[in-house]
């Protein structure tokens, strides 16, 4: 057997011995980004279907959280930057090849749109709301007039946002564990599932709850399928990809990933939702907390494990 | 023009003079390095083989750090040298994770830093500091597009390898073996 021992004189902070440049800010942002993508997607989708009254919480109330959550995500992203005062350089360049640039521009568009979108529902939620100034009333009526256009824009942008949270990682060939095209769809599904579980928790309508239990159940099954697919892809890959998968199949991330993400975050909610659909009454708070916890852990573990995995030479 | 470096692993003694020369020439902050020496031992006792390599940014022709940079701070300079413009760098660290060689780091001032092939010297027709200082003269710097350059002739004559060619980055540091 050929063995190789490498002794390197390099010891750059946060690079050696194990790369650790992205900390809690990035996974938190990826989680919030996915959640917002899901909230806005469902809201725009049911509005376009003309069911905004039937799904009151999904279309009208949930989007109120979107700008707030996005702000938390943006603050986290800003905190991650090490050369903060130059952040505006993101918006003097458009780089098609850079996922980071896609993300920056998507956020630039989706942030104001999510504010407009929530504003357009204020009158529905608070009929006695006093806008005080006439020009705001006129502006608001314009937003409501163009609601369909905004909804279509939100559908496209929210899919880009949800997908990009995974592509941001999968685009890095240098980190074998991230380097799978499944990451984008996996993170999108996980984001949609997290937002569906939020709706499940806060909605007061039985029809809405029932539908979103079904939607979340489906999304969880898709997610489980993607996870199996992810590992099968790695195991059929090159040596470095097999080593990256081994981190989860006996290596250091085995216990946290399979227990926190798969069992707590996916399998338990799956069982609870099946029981719910069979007519058993399960407190939504349990299902929702499990889904949100699993979704957050997925991002934390994947971001860390990706930095742990590497090419060897 | 395509600047590249060839390093003779048969002549390198692993003295780390290149590392010190770089730190002095480029005022690299204490505790950091833009180049480093790797000692790779392979085989099974008693049949062991040791290779010493002075490593640095590979100034790849297909550089993932340049592709993933959202602000064009990472860019190709003269002769394909990969550079970072500190005034454009936001410190998102995407380039650091995109580099399979881990050649980059965050400078204490916030921007991302790495080997520049001593472009300030190369522009004046001089060699990078590490090449100049090497006591065994095992490092060669030059233009691989010019068939008459010393480096081109060496690469034709000698056996060589690059690091992680399978990552597809087309590195421009050649190790003569």
pLDDT tens-digit series, residues B102-153:
999 999 999 999 999 999 999 999 999 999 999 999 999 999 999 999 999 9
Residues 242-281 of A with CB under 8 A from B: none
What's the CA gap between B92 and A79, in Å, rounded?
A: 10
Q: What digits encode the pLDDT tens for the residues A213-266?
A: 999 999 999 999 999 999 999 999 999 999 999 999 999 999 999 999 999 999
* Count of domains observed in chain B: 1
What's the CA gap between A86 and A263, in Å, rounded?
A: 42
Confidence at residue A212, expressed as pLDDT on a 0 to 100 scale = 96
Candidates B37, B94, B106; nearest CB to A100? B94
Confidence at residue A122, expressed as pLDDT on a 0 to 100 scale = 87
pTM: 0.94
Alpha-carbon distances, residue A189 vs A95, A220, B35 (angstroms): 26, 8, 42
pLDDT at A2 over 90: no
As a whole number, mean pLDDT of residues A166-187 equals 95
* B70–A84 CB contact, under 8 Å: no
pLDDT at A1 over 60: no
Selection from A279, A48, A30, A55 nearest residue A163 by Cα: A30
Q: What digits encode the pLDDT tens for the residues A85-137?
A: 999 999 999 999 999 999 999 999 999 999 999 989 988 888 887 778 888 88
As a whole number, mean pLDDT of residues B82-102 equals 96
Instruction: Return the higher-pLDDT residue of B65 and B44.
Output: B65
Stretch (H or E) spanning A42: helix A25-48
Question: What's the half-sphere exposure (Cβ side, CA atoms, 13 Å) at A118?
Answer: 17
Whether A22 and A28 have beta carbons less than 8 Å apart is answered as: no
Alpha-carbon distances, residue A129 vs A40, A60, A133, A141, B34 (angstroms): 23, 15, 12, 14, 61
First to last CA, chain A: 16
Task: Write out chain A residues lying below 8 Å of B31, CB-based.
Answer: 11-13
What ipTM was predicted for this assembly? 0.92
- Domain boundary assignment for chain A: 25-308
Task: Write the secondary structure of B107-162 as one string of H (helix), E (strand) and C (coil).
Answer: CCCCCEECCCCCHHHHCCCCCCHHHHHCCCCCEEEEECCCCCCHHHHHHHHCCEEC
Confidence at residue B153, expressed as pLDDT on a 0 to 100 scale = 96
What's the CA gap between A174 and A85, in Å, rounded?
A: 28
Q: What digits encode the pLDDT tens for the residues A19-33?
A: 999 999 999 999 999
Residue A130 per-residue DSSP state? -
Selection from B25, B63, B31 nearest residue A16 by Cα: B31
What's the CA gap between B79 and B86, in Å, rounded?
A: 20
Task: Write out chain B residues lying below 8 Å of A7, CB-based.
Answer: 38-41
Whether chain B has a CB inside 8 Å of the CB on A96: the answer is: no
pLDDT at A15 over 80: yes
Q: What digits encode the pLDDT tens for the residues A179-228?
A: 999 999 999 999 999 999 999 999 999 999 999 999 999 999 999 999 99
Q: Which of B43, B52, B92, B177 would best serve as a mutation to test chain A binding (most A beta carbons within 10 A)?
A: B92
* A84–B38 CB contact, under 8 Å: no
Confidence at residue A132, expressed as pLDDT on a 0 to 100 scale = 80
Compute the CA torsion angle B150, B153, B158, B161 (nearest 10 deg).
Answer: 80
Question: What's the half-sphere exposure (Cβ side, CA atoms, 13 Å) at A246?
Answer: 9
Selection from A228, A303, A289, A236 nearest residue A262 by Cα: A228
Confidence at residue A133, expressed as pLDDT on a 0 to 100 scale = 82
Give the DSSP letter string of B50-97.
Answer: EEEEEEE----TT-HHHHH-SSS-EEE-GGG-EEE-TTT-----HHHH
Question: What's the half-sphere exposure (Cβ side, CA atoms, 13 Å) at A99?
Answer: 22
Residue B7 bridge partners (DSSP): B139, B175
Confidence at residue A313, expressed as pLDDT on a 0 to 100 scale = 64
Residues 143-202 of A with CB under 8 A from B: 171-175
Q: What digits encode the pLDDT tens for the residues A43-80?
A: 999 999 999 889 999 999 999 999 999 999 999 999 99
Confidence at residue A137, expressed as pLDDT on a 0 to 100 scale = 83
What's the CA gap between A70 and A151, in Å, rounded?
A: 18
Confidence at residue B64, expressed as pLDDT on a 0 to 100 scale = 96
Taking every pair of C-alpha atoms in chain A, what is the biggest distance, in angstroms?
A: 81
pLDDT at A304 over 70: yes
pLDDT at B44 over 90: no
Strands B3-8, B173-176: pairing kind: parallel
CATH classification of the domain holding B168: 3.30.70.20
CATH of A25-308, one of 1.20.1630.10, 1.20.1250.20, 1.10.357.10, 3.50.50.60: 1.20.1630.10
What's the CA gap between A206 and A225, in Å, rounded?
A: 29
Mean pLDDT of chain B: 95
Distance of CA A192 to the CA centre of its chain: 7
């Amino acid at each position: 057997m050929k063995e190789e021992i490498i002794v390197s004189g390099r010891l750059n902070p946060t690079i050696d011995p194990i790369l650790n440049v992205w900390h809690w800010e990035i996974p938190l942002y990826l989680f919030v980004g996915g959640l917002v993508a899901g909230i806005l997607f469902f809201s725009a989708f049911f509005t376009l279907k003309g069911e905004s009254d039937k799904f009151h919480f999904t279309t009208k109330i949930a989007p109120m959280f979107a700008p707030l959550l996005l702000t938390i995500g943006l603050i986290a992203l800003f905190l991650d930057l090490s050369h903060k005062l130059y952040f505006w350089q993101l918006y003097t360049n458009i780089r098609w090849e850079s996922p980071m640039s896609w993300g920056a521009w998507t956020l630039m568009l989706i942030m104001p749109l999510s504010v407009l979108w929530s504003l357009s529902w204020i009158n529905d939620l608070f009929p006695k709301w006093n806008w005080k100034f006439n020009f705001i009333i006129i502006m608001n009526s314009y937003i409501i007039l163009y609601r369909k256009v905004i909804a279509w824009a939100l559908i496209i942008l929210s899919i880009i946002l949800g997908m990009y949270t995974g592509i941001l990682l999968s685009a890095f060939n240098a980190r074998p564990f991230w380097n799978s095209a499944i990451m984008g769809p996996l993170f999108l599904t996980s984001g949609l599932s997290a937002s569906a579980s939020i709706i499940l928790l806060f909605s007061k309508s039985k029809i809405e709850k029932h539908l979103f239990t079904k939607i979340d159940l489906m999304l969880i099954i898709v997610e489980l399928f993607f996870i199996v697919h992810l590992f099968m892809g790695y195991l059929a890959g090159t040596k470095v990809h097999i080593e990256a998968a081994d981190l989860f199949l006996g290596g250091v991330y085995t216990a946290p990933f399979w227990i926190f993400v798969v069992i707590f975050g996916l399998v338990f909610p799956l069982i609870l939702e099946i029981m719910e659909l069979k007519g058993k009454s399960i407190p939504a708070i349990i299902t929702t907390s499990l889904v949100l916890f699993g979704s957050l852990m997925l991002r934390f573990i994947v971001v860390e494990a990706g930095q742990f995995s590497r090419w060897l030479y | 023009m395509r600047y590249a470096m060839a390093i003779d692993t048969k002549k390198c003694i692993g003295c780390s003079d290149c590392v010190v020369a770089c730190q002095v020439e480029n005022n690299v902050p204490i505790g950091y390095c833009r180049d480093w020496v790797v000692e790779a031992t392979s085989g099974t006792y008693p049949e062991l083989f040791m290779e010493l390599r002075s490593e640095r940014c590979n100034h790849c022709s297909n550089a993932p750090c340049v592709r993933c940079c959202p602000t064009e701070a990472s860019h190709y300079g003269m002769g394909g040298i990969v550079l970072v413009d500190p005034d454009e760098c936001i410190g998102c660290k995407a380039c650091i994770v995109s580099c399979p060689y881990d050649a980059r780091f965050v400078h204490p001032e916030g921007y991302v830093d790495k080997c520049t092939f001593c472009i300030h010297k190369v522009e004046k027709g001089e060699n990078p500091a590490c090449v100049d200082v090497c006591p065994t003269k095992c490092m060669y710097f030059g233009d691989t597009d010019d068939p008459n350059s010393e480096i081109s002739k060496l690469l034709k004559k000698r056996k060589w390898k690059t690091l992680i060619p399978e990552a597809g980055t087309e590195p421009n540091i050649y190790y003569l073996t």
